[in-house]
A and B are shown apart, each in its own frame.
Chain A
Amino acid sequence: MRLYVHDSEGKRLVEADEDATLIEAIGVHGDSHVWAEDADEPLAADAKVGMLAGSEVAAVHVGKGQITVTVTYNGQTESKSFGPGTKIDKVLDWTLSSQGFNIPVGDRDDLVLRLSGSTEPLEPDAHIGTLVSKADTLVLDLVPGERFAG
């Protein structure tokens, strides 16, 4: 089974036997855990690769704990904790929702997330645990997507 494995270094593909434990298949060491993509809690230490067979995408994150994401929009900030395997797309959904900045529906699709102070795009399938290295906080800006003119 093809597994997308994300960690603080980036992402890689691993071919794994469904009967193997995720920890064995990925080679997890130390106090890191395996998190399913977009999950708030880590998987059990004996979780098997095959349990991801029904997932839309068999993607996991190797990381230690939850990450607190703080987002700034129009001078206001909102914070929430997510598992390190949470995709940028899911964080964006939260910022736009009534639990975040409650952006009117007609304005939502023009907004994007960027690392604070950066103009570099963030890939929607990037895991937030990949963006923070060894820290447990991530600071983002919610801004309109760039318009190209001239």
Chain B
Amino acid sequence: MEPDERALVEDLASVRFLSGVAHKYWRVVDRVGSIATFEITAPTGRQVGVRMDFAGYPGAAPTGQLWSIVDRTPLPVDVWPTGGRASQVFNPDWSQQFGGAFYFPFDRRALDGHPAWANDHTGHVWGVDKTVVDVLHLLREVLRTATGPSMKSTEDEAAS
């Protein structure tokens, strides 16, 4: 097992991570090496799949994309969460140039082009003290602000 995968496996077994599972904040859908897929549930009940590549973890931040758990493909843009902070973090105009990356400081592809974020967002600076749990909490916080698409349309997408 490579060091990044080993570190990820350890963090997926941590009390912080398992507490999030127990509270139904998220669940692991699958993991292959250092690539893991999660389902995240916001306090509003909105759910979304995310697939994250943890190559170089924890020295490097992961990079991720929205993911259809049913189809095992990137989530179609027309059902991406929108509204509030979700429209900024899940920004198709930007992220489609970067493999669907999340526009926030816990995604290494977004971080590459934004060195000022380390000073502007001191509470969200990636370092070896950060783990997959911090990424999932931030994604959940962002997902909570989403107002679209309708919850029914995303449930239909999941059921189709």
Q: Helix, strand, loop or mixed for chain A's interface?
A: loop
Question: A125 to B141, Cβ gap below 8 A?
Answer: no
- Residues of A96-150 contacting chain B, CB below 8 A: 109-110, 112, 114, 118-121, 123-125, 145-150
How many residues of chain A are within 8 Å of chain B by beta carbon? 26
Tell me, in angstroms, the Cα distance from A120 to B129 when the chains sit together.
Answer: 13
A146 CB contact (under 8 Å) in B16, B18, B22, B121:
B121
- Residues of B34-81 contacting chain A, CB below 8 A: 43-44
Chain B residues engaging chain A, CB cutoff 8 angstroms: 15-16, 18-20, 22-25, 43-44, 84-85, 88-89, 103-105, 110, 114, 116-117, 120-124, 133-134, 137-138, 140-142, 144-145
A-B contact pairs, 11 of them (CB 8 A): A4-B19, A58-B22, A109-B43, A109-B144, A109-B145, A119-B124, A124-B25, A124-B137, A146-B123, A148-B121, A149-B88
Chain A residues engaging chain B, CB cutoff 8 angstroms: 4, 11-13, 56-59, 89, 109-110, 112, 114, 118-121, 123-125, 145-150
